[in-house]
């Protein structure tokens, strides 16, 4: 499967987006002229060339500029994602990932150094066990001058806003003690190597990112 190509917006069609309340994900219709959608489109204009999106979910990031192409990195196949999140329905569906990877354990080792013009991580990092390590790997795969487009939630508006925040010191310590690179890998490319054997999808965790795993 080839990379997804950008298309020019036409007629501002209504799109399906996810929303979460205490971890329950539901599909709902969003006005394409809303501020959030327009901001996503504006940020998308920094995405030029070829890149990857981490955990696109059922709503990949919009690519407004013609000629821009993207490949998807996800932990699950579309059928597995659909089984994990039946409340999202069949439309618009989950895209086929180009690379299968558990970002907590595999990071982006399926991608070569300096191979990407951009990396999109929309609502992914806040769900990682070791986010600094993933950020470091994003830096590794970006070419010089490449773009990392990272979207994070406003924790004042999340269901666990009253929870004690994770400190930077804790994140740094977690990275310092992480075992990397792993001795084995489950990361594969859908365009070449056969799929590594993986256990069946678990019960949907409420901590899973709207855009990722």
Tell whether the model's pLDDT for residue 181 goes beyond 90.
no
**pLDDT band for position 1 (cuts 50, 70, 90):** low
Q: Where are the alpha helices (DSSP H) in 25-159?
A: 35-44, 78-84, 131-141
> If you average pLDDT over every residue of the chain, what do you get?
75
pLDDT above 80 (res 25): no
Task: Judge whether residue 36 has pLDDT over 70.
Answer: yes
pLDDT(115) > 80:
yes
Would you say residue 90 has pLDDT above 80? Answer: no
Q: In this predicted structure, what is the pLDDT of residue 15? A: 38
pLDDT exceeding 90 applies to what percent of the chain?
Answer: 31
- Among 34-43, 44-53, 178-187, the least confident range: 178-187
Of 208 and 150, the structure prediction assigns the larger pLDDT to 150
CATH no., domain 15-154+163-189: 3.40.50
Residue 211 or 190, more confident: 190
Which residues, 6+ apart, have CB-to-CB distance to 61 below 8 Å? 40, 44, 47, 53, 70, 120, 122, 149, 211
pLDDT at res. 124: 92
pLDDT for position 205? 36
User: Which position has the token pair 């036409």?
Assistant: 10
Write the pLDDT tens digit of every residue in 44-56.
999 999 999 999 9
Q: How much is the pLDDT for 116?
A: 97
| Whole-number percent of the chain with pLDDT over 70 | 68
Residue 31 has pLDDT above 70, yes or no: no
Mean pLDDT of 197-203: 41
Q: How is residue 24 written in tokens?
A: 């329950």
- Condensed to tens digits (0 to 9), the pLDDT of residues 156-179 reads 888 888 888 888 898 888 888 877
For residues 132-155, average pLDDT: 93
C-beta atoms surrounding 71 within 10 Å = 23
**pLDDT at residue 176 in the model:** 81
Can you tell me the distance from the alpha carbon of 166 to that of 148, in angstroms, rounded to the nearest whole number?
Answer: 23
């Amino acid at each position: 499967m080839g990379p997804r190509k950008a298309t020019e917006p036409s007629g501002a069609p209504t799109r399906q987006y996810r929303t979460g309340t205490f971890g329950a994900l539901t599909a709902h219709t969003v006005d394409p002229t809303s501020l959030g959608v327009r901001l996503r489109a504006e940020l998308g204009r920094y995405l030029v060339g070829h890149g990857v999106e981490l955990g696109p979910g059922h709503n990949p990031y919009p690519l407004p500029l013609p000629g821009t192409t993207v490949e998807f990195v996800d932990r699950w196949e579309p059928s597995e994602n659909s089984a994990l999140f039946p409340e999202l329905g069949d439309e618009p569906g989950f895209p086929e990932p180009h690379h299968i990877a558990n970002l907590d354990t595999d990071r982006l080792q399926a991608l070569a150094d300096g191979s990407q013009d951009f990396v999109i991580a929309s609502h992914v990092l806040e769900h990682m066990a070791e986010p600094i390590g993933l950020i470091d790997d994003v830096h590794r795969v970006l070419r010089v001058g490449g773009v990392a487009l990272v979207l994070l939630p406003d924790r004042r508006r999340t269901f666990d806003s009253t929870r004690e925040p994770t400190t930077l010191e804790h994140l740094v310590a977690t990275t310092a003690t992480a075992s990397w690179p792993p001795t084995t890998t489950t990361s594969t490319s859908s365009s070449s190597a056969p799929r590594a054997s993986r256990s069946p999808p678990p019960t949907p965790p409420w901590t899973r990112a709207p855009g990722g795993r």
